[in-house]
Chains A and B, each alone.
Chain A
Amino acid sequence: MFALSADEWAVIGLSLKVAFWSVLCSLPLALATAWLLARTRFYGKSLFDALVHLPLVLPPVVIGYFLLLLLGRRGPLGALLDEYFGIVFAFRWSGAAVAAAIMGFPLMVRAIRLSIEAIDSGLEDAARTLGATRLRVFFTITLPLALPGVFTGTLLSFARSLGEFGATITFVSNIPGETQTLPLAIYTLTQVPGGDAAALRLSLIAIVLSVLALMVSERLVRRSQQRARGRDA
């Protein structure tokens, strides 16, 4: 009864693949964005801040629809990417990853930004007086000390990716084996007669995945906090 069917494995595999790539690709961008928001002042910063937070307040379907307009085969950006690089997002798993990345982005930026803001900027000044460029200061001082926030942000974004529904179904539709992630599969099962038991199984799997992710992240956060406090092990 606990053995998973091939279809279920496929759904889990796809969901993990989408979440993994969405987190991996948005992390560098989120780090840069969080640093800009935490440590710099520039013209139009509040507008930029609002833009970053937009996916948090807009209905996911709206984001999905805009993605379809922009990155669809005939969309301005989608057509360009297709023509020059042969990259297509529409109705592909990679499109699901893009949708998930955008939905999780504000959560990731927020956690990292708070973590960077909590670092004494005097430490960064001290590193510069020792001869480190801004870039080196970021990688040797800021990033290691912000790791608790990076792990928290990664978890939030990963969980958001696993659960992403509205933007995904609007942008890349619900294609089994290509874009049908866990939530989409559960939704589909609830729409067919006799699918309740299978939907419940998938829901339990979703719970197990989320709890596992939470536990791993907690462990990493605690360890990095210990390091950032500078206590001997």
Chain B
Amino acid sequence: MLDIRIKRRLGGFALDAAFRSESGVTALFGRSGSGKTTVVNAIAGLVRPDEGAITVNGVCLFDAARGIDLPVEQRRIGYVFQDGRLFPHLTVRANLRYGYELAKPAARQVGFDHVVGLLGLEALLERRPGNLSGGEKQRVAIGRALLASPRLLLMDEPLAALDQARKREVLRYIAALHKEISVPIVYVSHAVEEVVQLAETVVLMADGRVVASGAVGQVMGRADLRAQGVAFEGGTVIEARVSAYDPTYNLATLDFDGGQLKAPDIAAAVGELVRVRIRARDIAIALSEPADISVLNVLHGSVLDVVAGDDARAVVRVKVGATVLTSRITRYSAERLQLTPGRAVCVLVKAVSLN
């Protein structure tokens, strides 16, 4: 579906990225300056790679060796920019129709009213972008890109400029849209929560290179990536269903293969599926269930393996039901508790550490 291998050198920065993805949502993940935006700009045609090729859904957009370089306007790649980039002199309706009217009627994938409804834009149509809130702007930008009937939708940190509440609002719209419309999405972000919630495939980038790529559970669970210069803590991604919600404390109960977790601030209703990520360093291990403790989540499991690092730390993998949790503790603790494969342990997870 997506096959990218490109090289580009500019000043002191060298980009050399290659990855493939068959997923609905592919996340490009990495700290700022790692080359994520250059990759999506190359896909859109706004940046020209020195070497390599870009293929989307079987259509070759760029191939340096064969001299193919489709102009931006012929690529049909939707692009949601970090800053929205709505046309200030046009109303929201005219912004939305800009690409819609340029697409061939036969190629149109979605109806105008459908997208407007999906993104909740009905009340904004006659307004001008200057008066919209950040969240509204991004929703319009997403709708505008979708209505141009793209082969692929690029989203470059679409939530970066928004506050926490707006982030959650727009994130929910993106998740809903992905379920409704079958346009593959490449989602650029340096926020773990967004990647975990949306993506199926993750491409991890650092210093212009692809450090790791694969299914979200695998890549985000790897504890060894810190060593590769990735500003990111390894952890475990769990898929869970919201089974209860306590509005008094804003706490949700999540059921997963291995037990229950309590977590705050979950942006999903009861019955919905969510993904949560537990960082390896947020998991503590005890030999017996502790009493009188603030930690809400105590899970029972058995040690799968212990890998002592070169430094003071050790990585302990614990099997809880069908789920394997990764914990990072000190080497000293691992030896003191005599953690060996097969040993029954309690896994402690602070509810506030879940995101």
Contact = CB atoms under 8 A, between A and B. Distances in A.
Interface of A: 120, 122-123, 125-133, 136, 140-141, 144-145, 227-232
B148 A230 contact: no
Contacts of B78: 129-130
Contacts of A136: 102
Interface in B55-96: 71-79, 81, 83, 85-89
Which 10 residue pairs across A and B have the least CB separation, nearest first?
A230-B88, A130-B99, A230-B130, A131-B102, A128-B72, A126-B85, A129-B79, A231-B130, A230-B129, A130-B148
A35 to B, nearest CB: 17
Contacts of A232: 127-128, 130-131
Interface in B87-140: 87-89, 98-99, 102-103, 127-131
Nearest to B104: A131
Contacts, number: 79
Interface in B138-154: 144-145, 148
Nearest to A133: B73
User: What is the size category of the interface that chain B forms with chain A?
Assistant: 20 to 34
23 contacts: A122-B81, A122-B83, A123-B87, A125-B85, A126-B81, A128-B45, A128-B71, A129-B45, A129-B73, A130-B78, A130-B99, A131-B73, A131-B103, A131-B148, A145-B88, A228-B88, A228-B89, A230-B87, A230-B131, A231-B131, A232-B128, A232-B130, A232-B131
B46 interface: yes
Contact of B102 (A120, A123, A130): A130
A136 B144 CA distance: 17
Nearest to B75: A129
Contact of B87 (A128, A131, A141): A141
B144 A130 contact: yes
Nearest to A231: B130
A227 B87 CA distance: 10
Interface of B: 44-46, 71-79, 81, 83, 85-89, 98-99, 102-103, 127-131, 144-145, 148
Q: Taking chain A's interface residues, is the majority helix, strand, or loop, or is none over half, making it mixed? A: helix
B87 A125 contact: no
B266 to A, nearest CB: 34
B262 to A, nearest CB: 43
B109 to A, nearest CB: 13
A126 B86 CA distance: 8
B89 A129 contact: no
A227 B90 CA distance: 8
Given A126-B87, A129-B145, A132-B102, 16 more contacts: A122-B83, A123-B87, A126-B81, A127-B87, A129-B75, A130-B73, A131-B76, A132-B99, A133-B73, A141-B87, A144-B89, A227-B88, A229-B88, A230-B87, A230-B88, A232-B130
Given A127-B98, A129-B79, A129-B145, A229 B130 contact: yes
B156 to A, nearest CB: 11
Nearest to A126: B85
A133 B70 CA distance: 12
B140 to A, nearest CB: 12
Point out which of A123, A130, A232 has the most chain B C-beta atoms below 10 A from its C-beta.
A130
A130 B130 CA distance: 20
Contacts of B87: 123, 126-127, 141, 230
A128 B46 CA distance: 9
A231 B127 CA distance: 8
Contacts of A144: 89
A129 B78 CA distance: 6
Contacts of B46: 125, 128-129
A73 B285 CA distance: 99
A227 B89 contact: yes
Most A CB atoms within 10 A — which of B89, B98, B99? B89
Contacts of A227: 88-89
